[in-house]
Amino acid sequence: MSPALWLAGGALAGREKAKFTDAVAIIVVGIIVGAIFDAFVLGFFELLFSMLPLGALGFWLFSYLIRLIIWLALVKHYFDCGWLKALAISILAIILFAIIAVVLAFLGLALIALI
């Protein structure tokens, strides 16, 4: 995911702001913060949301919204851009990642083939 994020950041934020090490840092810090968020914060909010009418659905929607904000904040911080540009970079990175995965799958280099 880091190369796709780096390419998207370079295209939208500029090559001087989007460095490959920043893209790697976004992925690493995002995974670590997400794990901490899951371990500590979600345990409390799951109990809180179980008392509300939406129950588990509301809990998962809240969880995904917070995770999206965390990832966008990381992209915003490391690539030194605004919130909308961070969203555009993230969407473009997902599209690039999907294209790269499809091309590699057609070439026979899918991850499942390595197992």
Interval 12-27: pLDDT, tens: 988 888 899 999 999 9
Least confident of 50-59, 62-71, 98-107: 50-59
> Is the separation of the CB atoms in 37 and 74 below 8 Å?
no
How far is residue 74's CA from residue 87's CA, in Å, rounded to a whole number? Answer: 11
Cα distances (angstroms) measured from residue 84 to each of 9, 67, 68, 112: 13, 16, 13, 35
How far is residue 8's CA from residue 81's CA, in Å, rounded to a whole number? Answer: 13
Position 56 pLDDT exceeds 60: yes
Q: Which of 71, 94, 72 is nearest to 83 (CA)?
A: 72
Q: Which tokens is 111 given?
A: 């991850």
